[in-house]
Amino acid sequence: MILIADCGSTKIDWCALKDGKVEKQVFTMGMNAVMLTEEEMRTRIASELIPELGDIAASVTAVFFYGAGCISAEVCSNVAQAIKANIPSAETVEVYTDLLAAARALCGHKPGIACIMGTGSNSCLYDGESIAQNVSPLGFILGDEGSGAVLGKHFLGDVLKKQLPEEVCARFLDEYNLDLLTIIRRVYKEPQANRFLASVTPFLSKNSDVPEIHALILSAFRAFFRRNITQYTEYARHSVNFIGSIAYYFADILREAAQAEGCTVGTIVKSPMEGLIKFHTAH
């Protein structure tokens, strides 16, 4: 039996597979591996995952973990040790970045451009086996173009600077129970500002027909293609594939932006798990 984990900052999706079929699927609290010690990860896995897996845990022979923050050998080693401590039956434990999860889920064993567009954004040129090129995402302050956090950042700035129709601004502030001081506090003083910023994107989705909001979203997506995708070797020869909630819910505007920047959008899916299952069970 193999266990695949798709780990984000919000949740971890664990799928136990037996003979290529899902035996059990478990969701636990997310974690960013670069922010936690091995002991902290070991404790979380022990308290959240193992009780949910039950007897299945003893039958797991291989674990493939894809996670946010798994960007160095040291971090990946810490994650692997935390898993091995809880699942000693696993002879194989492999830990990779969430960007490789996107590439494998979207492209399988074929070359292509794979992107993540959710709370944050990232992209890579994938050669069919590994990540050949990667433009650093830089986070929502310096980069993360097109992400939920950046869409939220631009939108809230426009609301507070009265760049949008008055009725739209008033309706948003009332619906989300926000005011200037609350927004400033949530962005500059409280932790996880990126999640707060991204939390306003459902309002953008519901109101994407407002010309000013449509223009804001389109501009952010065009910046994603212009500042990231066009840097990849022969990018015009490849379709650009996406995983993540922002790409999924704003697919029409994303395709509009791609066309404007001379790119072609291929597959768009909300989660990589289905593609990862295919990747790890293909014979």
The domain that holds 59 is classified in CATH as 3.30.420.40
Neighbouring residues of 211: CB distance < 8 A, sequence distance ≥ 6: none
Asked if residue 277 belongs to a domain, the reply is no
Token representation of residue 93: 């434990």
Q: Can you tell me the distance from the alpha carbon of 140 to that of 265, in angstroms, rounded to the nearest whole number?
A: 23
The runs of H, that is alpha helices, within the chain are 38-44, 50-53, 73-86, 98-107, 139-142, 148-160, 166-175, 180-188, 193-198, 201-206, 211-227, 245-249, 251-260, 273-281
pLDDT at 20: 82
Q: Which of 29, 64, 90 is the last residue of a domain?
A: 90
Residues 263 and 165 in one domain: yes
Q: Which of 40, 58, 90 is the last residue of a domain?
A: 90
Residues 129 and 255 in one domain: yes
Residues 82 and 144 in one domain: no
Residues 131 and 186 in one domain: yes
Asked if residue 45 belongs to a domain, the reply is yes
DSSP 8-state symbol, 243: E
Q: Can you tell me the distance from the alpha carbon of 119 to that of 127, in angstroms, rounded to the nearest whole number?
A: 26
pLDDT at 199: 94
Give the angle subtended at the CA of 277 by the CAs of 273 and 279, to the nearest 5°.
115
Asked if residue 95 belongs to a domain, the reply is no
Token representation of residue 128: 């069919």
Residue 220 · residue 146 · CB < 8 Å: yes
Domain span at residue 162?
106-270
Residues 138 and 84 in one domain: no
> Domain total for the chain?
2
Residues 260 and 160 in one domain: yes
Asked if residue 233 belongs to a domain, the reply is yes
Residues 160 and 240 in one domain: yes
Give the angle subtended at the CA of 239 by the CAs of 236 and 245, to the nearest 5°.
130
Asked if residue 211 belongs to a domain, the reply is yes
Asked if residue 186 belongs to a domain, the reply is yes
Asked if residue 275 belongs to a domain, the reply is no
Residues 30 and 151 in one domain: no
Asked if residue 212 belongs to a domain, the reply is yes
Residues 86 and 112 in one domain: no
Q: Mind listing the pLDDT tens digit of every residue in the chain (283 residues)?
A: 999 999 887 789 999 998 888 889 999 988 878 888 899 999 999 999 999 988 888 999 999 999 978 888 999 999 999 999 999 999 999 999 999 999 999 999 999 999 999 888 999 999 988 999 999 888 888 989 999 999 999 999 999 999 999 999 999 999 999 999 999 999 999 988 988 999 999 999 999 999 999 999 999 999 999 999 999 988 888 999 999 999 999 999 999 999 999 999 999 999 899 999 999 987 5
Q: Which of 66, 90, 114 is the last residue of a domain?
A: 90
Tell me which residue has tokens 């039950």: 54
Residue 108 · residue 114 · CB < 8 Å: no
Residues 159 and 61 in one domain: no
Residues 163 and 223 in one domain: yes
Residues 193 and 110 in one domain: yes
